[in-house]
Amino acid sequence: MLLVAVTLAWVKRIRSKALGMKRTTRHAVIDRVALTALWCIFPLRLAAESFMAAIKHNGGFLTGGLGDLIAANMGPAAIGALNDTAWWLYSFALGTFFVAMPFSRYMHIFTEIPLIFLRRYKLRSCEREGSFDNFQIQACSRCGICLDPCQLQKELGIDNVQSVYFLRDRRYGRLNDEVRDNCLMCGLCKERCPVGIELGTLRLNSRAKSMDTPAATRYTYLKDSDRSSGSGTTGYFAGCMTLLTPATMASMEKIFSAAGEDVWWADREGGVCCGRPLKLTGEITAARKMMEYNKGLFRKHGISTLITSCPICLKVFREDYRLEGIEVLHHSEYIMRLVRDGRLKLSAAGGGTYTYHDPCELGRGAGIYDEPRELIRSVGRLTEPAHTREEALCCGSSLGNTVIDDGQQAAIARSMASELELTGADTIVTACPLCKKAITRGTRKRVADLSQIIAEAIEN
Ligand code: SF4
Ligand code: SF4
């Protein structure tokens, strides 16, 4: 079994495509030393035991057969010399491996299984770098599975910043700004990682360490920023990006009106960012200031439900705000609830053909896949693109990447939009204002927010 494993490891390194991987990891020198030693250990042990079997006329299934072959073709003196040599080489390979191991990727042997076990007890990394971050970094086997899905690699040819390299460089204390910051934070690699390492959190934490600055003096304007309007216990937080997509705002207004919802608008006349873009760039203190401000605003106006059209806002509200007593919903969940409760009647009379793009923060980030699809099916026909749900591509305009330029973002948008076009749908639907803007740059087809096609289908 061990020899089969070594053979497979050889095949993976030399012809990775044969095992379904387009790329393999470029290893550090210490990894190469440990890897070479590991590869040598098993064949050398087999050779040493076979020579010993030839001398003692014993051995098992494999070593006994090889021993008989050696005894039949070599003299006792040669066998004795080669026996000594094989045992020395084997001991040297074994010793080299164990000396190199603590400094190499093979530390994953001791950390990977405990990590998988600890996951069951919901152990997670915190907002700041800590010892559990270091433990997770050791658990990366550098298998390279996270390389292939990365769009930075596929579309832009950037091949030195993927999670495996981030973890490697972070472990050896040589992480540079580009590797740290050149990531869309799309979560595609995390979805594939067989060890379940919190790749996004670890990268965010490493940014916080290096970029966080005191923000107390820069955010004094926050105390005068309440420009909210309306009343009611249902609050709507558009967020910066939705405020820049008037069609989504107008559609939400129409939906609220049709459902007879009394809405408190947190930021229709402008307001304060949810804080996640700052968090993504490592400005944790500043992000916390905004979060505290918004949280106070929600409490002051006494809302019990908070709706947002932006998955970026949704994620930070759910994960960082600790809004006890306030239910946080994405508009797809809220609209679905309205339909199920009979408060919103939709007509499929238009009968368009739609395809749906899962935004990273809504799908992989918040696990919301079904509500948008169910809503689309209630107003028309849904066709799925090649990469969908957990495998959906990123639109390329992530706020989490501060390295790639506008042209590179547009290249990613064109590539993922062409996949959506291939579905033949009349309209590309998404449920994120940022994705909507990005996809629009990459296609001539109509791109609509989910709320738009729902608002269009409301029965009068
Ligand atoms: S991060 Fe996960 S998928 Fe990537 S190399 Fe490490 S273990 Fe493999
Ligand atoms: S999160 Fe996305 S962009 Fe970043 S390394 Fe993983 S796949 Fe690549």
Comparing C-alpha atoms, which of 379, 380, 355, 378 is closest to residue 431? Answer: 355
358: CB partners within 8 A, 6+ apart:
364, 369, 372, 388, 389, 392
Tell me the pairing of strands 327-330 and 352-356: unpaired
CB 419 within 8 A of CB 443: no
> Which is more confident, 195 or 460?
195
Task: List pocket residues of ligand 2, CB cut-off 6 Å.
Answer: 149-150, 152, 162-163, 183-189
Question: pLDDT tens digits, residue range 220-245?
Answer: 667 777 889 998 999 999 999 999 99
Comparing C-alpha atoms, which of 189, 150, 23 is closest to residue 412? Answer: 150
216 pLDDT higher than 60: no
Comparing C-alpha atoms, which of 326, 410, 338 is closest to residue 375? Answer: 338
The CB of 115 under 6 Å from ligand 1? The reply is no
CB 380 within 8 A of CB 453: yes
Query: Ligand 2: which atom is nearest the Cα of residue 184?
Result: 3
429: CB partners within 8 A, 6+ apart:
354, 355, 356, 357, 372, 376, 447, 448, 449, 450, 453
Exposure of 121 in the CB half-sphere (CA atoms within 13 A):
5
Q: Report how far ligand 1's centroid is from the alpha carbon of 351 (Å).
A: 44
Query: Ligand 2: which atom is nearest the Cα of residue 161?
Result: 5
pTM to 2 decimal places = 0.87
Query: Ligand 2: which atom is nearest the Cα of residue 149?
Result: 7
Cα–Cα distance, 116 to 111 (Å, whole number): 9
Cα–Cα distance, 29 to 107 (Å, whole number): 15
At residue 92 the predicted structure's pLDDT band, cuts being 50, 70 and 90, is: very high
Task: Supply the pLDDT for residue 213.
Answer: 57
Estimate the crossing angle of helix 331-340 against helix 246-259, to 10 degrees.
30
Question: pLDDT tens digits, residue range 304-334?
Answer: 999 999 999 999 999 999 999 999 999 999 9
Run of H or E residues at 97 = helix 76-100
Comparing C-alpha atoms, which of 234, 179, 231 is closest to residue 202? Answer: 179
Task: Supply the pLDDT for residue 12.
Answer: 83
The CB of 195 under 6 Å from ligand 1? The reply is yes
Question: pLDDT tens digits, residue range 251-304?
Answer: 999 999 999 999 999 999 888 899 999 888 888 888 888 999 999 999 999 999
- What is the layout of strands, in order, in the sheet containing 380-383? 380-383, 352-356, 427-430, 446-449
Cα–Cα distance, 149 to 366 (Å, whole number): 20
Comparing C-alpha atoms, which of 194, 146, 192 is closest to residue 167? Answer: 146
Q: Report how far ligand 1's centroid is from the alpha carbon of 172 (Å).
A: 16
The string of DSSP letters for 50-73 reads HHHHHHHT---HHHHHHHHHHHHH
Torsional class of 193: left (φ above 0), alpha (ψ -120 to 50), beta (otherwise): beta
3-state secondary structure of 448: strand
For the record, the structure tokens of 206 come out as 């490493």
Task: Supply the pLDDT for residue 419.
Answer: 97
Query: Ligand 1: which atom is nearest the Cα of residue 147?
Result: 4
* Test site for ligand 1: of 140, 153, 165, most ligand atoms within 8 A of the Cβ: 140
The CB of 137 under 6 Å from ligand 1? The reply is no
* Test site for ligand 2: of 147, 186, 398, 412, most ligand atoms within 8 A of the Cβ: 186
Question: DSSP code of 386?
Answer: S
Comparing C-alpha atoms, which of 222, 201, 226, 276 is closest to residue 432? Answer: 276
Question: pLDDT tens digits, residue range 95-147?
Answer: 999 999 999 999 999 998 888 888 888 788 877 777 889 999 999 999 999 99
Alpha carbon of 262 to those of 227, 229, 250, 340, 460: distances in Å? 17, 11, 16, 19, 19
